[in-house]
Amino acid sequence: MSTFLLINGPNLNLLGSREPDVYGATTLADIEARCSAVAADLGHDIACCQSNAEHELIERVQKAHAEGVSFIIINPGAFTHTSVALRDALLAVDIPFIEVHLSNTFAREEFRHNSYFSDIATACLFGFGAYGYELAVHAAARHMARGEES
């Protein structure tokens, strides 16, 4: 059994009511519950957290290392396009991670096309909506089972 960590960044606490035409109607609580159920089915544990504050996300990533987290699934929200500091935290702990976005950011405004995470991620999932998180849990479990990249 491995421990996964699901991290959601700013404004993702508002899922369900936030721009439902872009992000869907599923709440973050529903996404976290679904990920926990899928992880349990696959024999793993998952811890979930969300913050609107960059420093809290960085501290959570740093703590993950001490806790022995094996794999991170992260939607950095708008910090995707701005945060060198959160990128550096992921590089520092050297825990493999999947970058998840509900929307296909490449089909949106140009400022959303750049990610500070994609080039250092094990894999990226864009545009699958809430289902993307579930796919990420499956992929994380497969990564642990195979002991290889993705």
Enumerate residues 20-59 that contact ligand DQA by CB under 6 A: none
Look up tokens 């702990």; give the residue: 93
Which residue lies nearer to ligand DQA by CB, 11 or 27?
Answer: 11
Query: How many angstroms separate the CA atoms of 102 and 11, rounded?
Result: 13
115 in contact with ligand DQA (CB under 6 A) = no
- Tell me the residue type at 78: A
Query: How many angstroms separate the CA atoms of 64 and 18, rounded?
Result: 28
**What is the per-residue binding string for ligand DQA in 81-110, x denoting contact by CB under 6 A?**
--------------------xxx-x-----
Q: How far is CA 78 from the centre of its chain?
A: 13
The two structure tokens encoding residue 150: 């993705």
Rule CB under 6 A: choose which of 47, 78, 93, 124 binds ligand DQA. Answer: 78
Q: How many CA atoms lie within 13 A of 79 on its CB side?
A: 27
75 in contact with ligand DQA (CB under 6 A) = yes
11 in contact with ligand DQA (CB under 6 A) = yes
**Shortest approach of ligand DQA to residue 29 CB, angstroms?**
16
Rule CB under 6 A: choose which of 50, 70, 80, 83 binds ligand DQA. Answer: 80
Element containing residue 84 per DSSP (H, E): helix 84-93
The DSSP 8-state label assigned to residue 108 in this structure reads S
Q: Which parts of this chain interact with ligand DQA (CB under 6 A)?
A: 11, 75, 77-78, 80, 101-103, 105, 112
Catalytic residues: 23, 101
